[in-house]
Chain A
């Protein structure tokens, strides 16, 4: 079973700044199966990125995903007030695994 480790646990960023979130897998995985979600307090998760780098419909282009092998990342180029939330990565290898999440908070 793949284990996903997200870092940092909490990221303090000012609005307008860039944020880069990391997701490291315990073994090599295909970018095809790399997915990112955003979750705000009291809400269901929202799909941001799938296939490693494909933005889901309606997701602004300030969100981008990249990576290969065991290292994947989500970058938010210029943080907007509505982007402060918890972000989860996901991998699928027959079983589905989530990372522990990164909380992006206002600095």
Chain B
């Protein structure tokens, strides 16, 4: 069965970086993109970007493109999202999700979420 399993919660200081992993299994890795979506406490969903495991292409949300990097490790079918220069407004649950980039980019499977807390 399709699974996306994310790394554990993180606590970071302002200005630091965080790297969250998303281990995928149960499907052909190169056939689907992986999107990252975050949700601040009590708030809605915010798209951060996606990466294509097929060719490594990325598409980042404009507001984050200077601070976010998404990478893939094909042998382990794991996707990573690194966010730099963290501020308090980056405190959120971060989700990875499987998407069909060529169609409507609907996310049909989601990871369990990773809480990132930014606090001094």
A-side residues, CB < 8 A to B, are: 1, 32-35, 37, 39, 44-47, 50-51, 56, 88, 90, 92, 94-101
Q: How large is the interface on B (under 10, 10 to 19, 20 to 34, 35 or more residues)?
A: 20 to 34
B95 & A50 in contact (Cβ 8 Å cutoff): no
Q: Is the CB of A96 within 8 A of B44?
A: no
B62 at the interface (CB under 8 A from A): yes
A50 touches B46 (CB 8 A): no
Closest to B96 in A: A44
- List 12 interface pairs A-B (beta carbons < 8 Å), by A numbering: A33-B105, A35-B106, A45-B95, A46-B110, A47-B106, A88-B45, A90-B105, A90-B106, A95-B59, A95-B61, A98-B44, A101-B44
Chain B contact residues: over half helix, strand or loop, or mixed? strand
What 0/1 readout, one digit per residue, does chain B (31-65) give for beta carbons within 8 Å of chain A?
00001010000001111001000000001011000
